[in-house]
């Protein structure tokens, strides 16, 4: 029996990330030219997970299954793709119980990018001996996630999923005189968990427990004792909406997620290239860091400014300026176009003279017959 196995939850719809998830499931949304789920699987590989890795799919299941058929870069892992329809996160684990034959296992979300020292977390889980351990991170606005209070021994005293103000108020009052750590520093659950195999029996007998955040952890914290892994020194980002998606791309380019990098066959001076370097005609410049896919054509006097990601089969015209943006595959950008802090999905045509300002998101296959001048944070989708 292998020591650890894993369940990767990849069934989410990614509705907050729309229109990026209109045509592809969220786990396959590329971050720096690499699907998000790849970051997750690389994390598990680096942690030495040798048991089964069950990837639980639901929304656009066929696309994810096809992705693993078409790509062989995880052939060294024992990946299984069971087909069932989970009702929620904990229900997914309950239904995947047959794939877990190890004493401990990891559960992770397929839509986060992190370089958490997973082996260290696994050792923490074994040392504490609780039925579950949760990875935690500081964030600025905990109400958007969940709030956790720990004691000095890292035991979780309180677990609140997306609390309303009255809940925060009650929790603050009850813990006002307790020796807790870091409640004020906004610890949240980051979506990577370690469990003892025994938790599967609990999930089996209590089928009211559907969601980890809302049901399972509050219950386990009260009845069994669970632990929080609250190291500060790692990178974690939930690319849950277009803005944080953009940040995640920048962060990977800035090497904040080290040792997880953009998809590339080579890298030089923080420019990641996949197989063939784009030709740079006279007057064109690339400011690192940046990442490039295959078959990219760049016009004259075009500047690719730092923190830009460009996918496969992208054509960029003359006199363009692209700054801190993410451009997916099969995109045509005509001449004299300026793009700043924007996301452009597959199959888009940006006509001559367009100006895409900060926060612009162009959904898949969008085309316009005339120059597009966007307001800040404007979204365009194909009708």
Partner 1 sequence: MLKEIERLTKGGRITAFSNTELTPELSALLGGAMGTLLDPNAVVMIGRDYRRDTRMLKRSFSGGLLSAGIELIDLHGIPTSILQFAVRRYGADAGVMLTRSHNLAGMVSIKLFEATGIEFESSQVAKIVNIAKSGELRRVAAPDVGWISVADAMKVYDRALAGFFASSKESMKEANLRVVVDCACGPASRIMPDLLSEFGCQVITLNAHRPRNPLFLPNPSSLVRLREMVRAIGADLGIALDAEARHAIIIDSQGRIRTAEETASVNLHSRYDPRSNATVVIGSSVHPSVYHDLHKNIIFSGHGEPGGIGRAVLEHRAIYGFNDTGLFVLPVFSPGSDAIVASFTVLSQMAKSHLKSTDIYRNHQVFAQRTAEVTFPIEKMFEFFKSVLNEQPQDFRVIDTFIGIKLITNENEWIHLHLATEDNTLQIEVYDPKENLDRQTELIALARNLVDTFLQNRSSSLARWEN
Question: How many other CB atoms are there within 10 angstroms of residue 287's CB atom?
Answer: 15
Site string for partner 1, 183-202 (x = CB under 8 A): ------------------x-
Q: Is beta strand 112-114 parallel, antiparallel or unpaired with respect to 104-109?
A: unpaired
By beta-carbon proximity to partner 1, the closer residue of 6 and 210 is 210
* 174 is a site residue for partner 1 (CB under 8 A): yes
* 15 is a site residue for partner 1 (CB under 8 A): no
* 208 is a site residue for partner 1 (CB under 8 A): yes
Query: Which of the residues 83 through 102 are near partner 1 (CB under 8 A)?
Result: 87
Q: Phi, psi at residue 121, to the nearest 5°?
A: -65, -40
Cα–Cα distance, 277 to 295 (Å, whole number): 8
* 275 is a site residue for partner 1 (CB under 8 A): no
Cα–Cα distance, 161 to 326 (Å, whole number): 32
* 269 is a site residue for partner 1 (CB under 8 A): no
Question: Could you report how far apart the first and last alpha carbons of the chain are, in Å?
Answer: 53
By beta-carbon proximity to partner 1, the closer residue of 91 and 238 is 91
Q: Of 105, 88, 97, whose CA–CA distance to 213 is shortest?
A: 88
* 32 is a site residue for partner 1 (CB under 8 A): no
Stretch in the footprint of partner 1 (CB under 8 A) among 207-215, 258-266, 279-287, 330-338: 207-215
Least CB distance to partner 1 at residue 105 (A): 21
| Binding residue (CB under 8 A) for partner 1 from 107, 149, 194, 327 | 149
Query: Which of the residues 213 through 232 are near partner 1 (CB under 8 A)?
Result: 214-215, 218-219, 222-223
* 349 is a site residue for partner 1 (CB under 8 A): no
* 152 is a site residue for partner 1 (CB under 8 A): no
* 170 is a site residue for partner 1 (CB under 8 A): yes
Which class for 282: exposed (0-12), middle (13-18), buried (19 or more C-beta within 10 A)? exposed
Q: Does residue 86 contact residue 14 with C-beta atoms inside 8 Å?
A: no
Q: Is beta strand 78-80 parallel, antiparallel or unpaired with respect to 180-181?
A: unpaired
């Amino acid at each position: 029996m292998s020591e650890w196995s894993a369940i990767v939850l990849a069934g989410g719809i990614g509705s907050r990330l729309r229109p990026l998830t209109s045509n592809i499931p969220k786990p396959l949304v590329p971050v720096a030219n690499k699907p998000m789920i790849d970051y997750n699987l690389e994390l598990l590989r680096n942690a030495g997970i040798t048991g089964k890795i069950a990837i639980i799919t639901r929304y656009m299941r066929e696309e994810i299954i096809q992705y693993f058929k078409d790509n062989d870069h995880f052939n060294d892992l024992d990946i299984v793709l069971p087909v069932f329809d989970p009702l929620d996160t904990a229900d997914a684990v309950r239904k995947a119980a047959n794939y877990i034959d190890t004493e401990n296992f990891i559960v992770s979300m397929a839509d986060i990018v992190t370089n958490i020292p997973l082996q260290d977390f696994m050792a923490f889980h074994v040392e504490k001996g609780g039925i579950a351990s949760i990875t935690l991170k500081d964030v600025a606005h905990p109400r958007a996630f969940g709030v956790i209070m720990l004691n000095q021994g890292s035991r979780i005293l309180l677990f609140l999923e997306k609390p309303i103000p009255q809940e925060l108020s009650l929790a603050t009052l009850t813990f006002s005189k307790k020796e807790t750590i870091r409640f004020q520093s906004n610890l949240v659950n980051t979506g990577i968990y370690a469990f003892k195999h025994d938790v599967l029996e609990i999930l089996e007998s209590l089928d009211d427990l559907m969601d980890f955040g809302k049901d399972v952890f509050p219950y386990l914290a009260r009845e069994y004792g669970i632990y929080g892994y609250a190291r500060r020194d790692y990178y974690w980002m939930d690319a849950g909406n277009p803005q944080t998606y953009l940040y995640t791309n920048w962060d990977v380019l800035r090497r904040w997620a080290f040792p997880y990098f953009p998809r590339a066959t080579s890298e030089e001076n923080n420019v990641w290239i996949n197989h063939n370097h784009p030709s740079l005609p006279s007057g064109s410049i690339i400011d690192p860091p940046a990442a490039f896919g295959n078959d990219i054509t760049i016009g004259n006097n075009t500047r690719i400014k730092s923190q830009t990601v460009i996918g496969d089969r992208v054509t960029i015209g003359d006199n363009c300026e692209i700054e801190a943006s993410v451009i997916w595959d099969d995109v045509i950008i005509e001449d004299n176009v300026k793009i700043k802090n924007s996301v452009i999905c597959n199959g888009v045509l940006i006509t001559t003279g367009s100006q895409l300002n900060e926060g612009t998101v162009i959904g898949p296959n969008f085309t316009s017959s005339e120059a597009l001048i966007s307001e800040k944070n404007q979204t365009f989708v194909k009708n």
